[in-house]
Copies of this chain bind each other. A is one copy, B any other.
Amino acid sequence: MSRSTEHTVKAFDGEIVELRGLISEMGGRAEEAISGAMRALTSHDLETAARVVQDDKRIDALEDQVDRLAVQVIALRAPMADDLREVVAALKIAGVVERIGDYAKNIAKRVPEIGSGRQIEAISILPAMARAASSMVHDVLDAFAARDWEAAVEVCERDREVDDFYNSIFRTLVTFMMENPQTISQAAHLLFVAKNLERIGDHATNVAEMVYFAARGTYMAERERGPDGVRS
């Protein structure tokens, strides 16, 4: 290997590490946003809700950084095959994680409308659903960092659990609304909260498919992804 080639390879490796680091930071902030939004919701904490909304700007700024770096890497290093797939995956995964942050922000924005909502029983199931969705986000970004396609397949399988939560909460809320028409407005906001969490699970599944493609160069088979249990 010539000196200059070696130099280029090292620079490229450094940039890939930097890309992974930025995405890992985005993921950490998205997880924090989900847990912050749920804490704000269950304890009707308007201050925490406002902070989650405010902090979303940092996730957006990180996405811009990923975009710029990924484009620079493609344009200057002209990576091939596996490397190119990984850089493009980083570009697309950053877009998905940014949207996961938006769903958390959306939950936080509903906190003032929902009020204490303690009387609505579904609210006590939402935190467990949020943990299930958030752990999918965590694990799929670990799978990206480790180029571990088997871990990515495993994350997809867990989307079923989040969908089951959603279907159960949907039915519980609709029943509650029928019996307590005066709470319909608050309960409708909780329906959207549940839907946002369900979408976070879907987005983690999308990232898993990108991790799989980046690592293997083929698309994840339907069989591996499991049946489409998404209520959508």
A residues sitting closer than 8 Å to B (CB atoms) are 67, 71, 74-75, 78-80, 84, 88, 91-92, 95, 105-106, 109, 170, 173-174, 177-179, 181-182, 184-185, 188, 191-192, 195, 232
Specify how many copies of this chain sit in the oligomer.
2
A170 and B188 alpha carbons, distance in the complex (Å): 9
Query: Which residue of B80, B170, B178 is within 8 Å of A181 (Cβ)?
Result: B178
CB-CB under 8 A from A178, the residues of chain B are: 181-182, 184
CB-CB under 8 A from A75, the residues of chain B are: 74, 78-80, 84
| Apart from A71-B84, A74-B74: 18 A-B pairs, beta carbons within 8 A | A67-B92, A74-B75, A75-B79, A75-B84, A92-B95, A105-B232, A109-B232, A170-B188, A174-B188, A177-B181, A177-B184, A178-B181, A178-B184, A184-B184, A188-B188, A188-B191, A191-B191, A191-B192
CB-CB under 8 A from A80, the residues of chain B are: 75
Please tell me if the beta carbons of A71 and B92 are within 8 angstroms of each other in the complex.
no
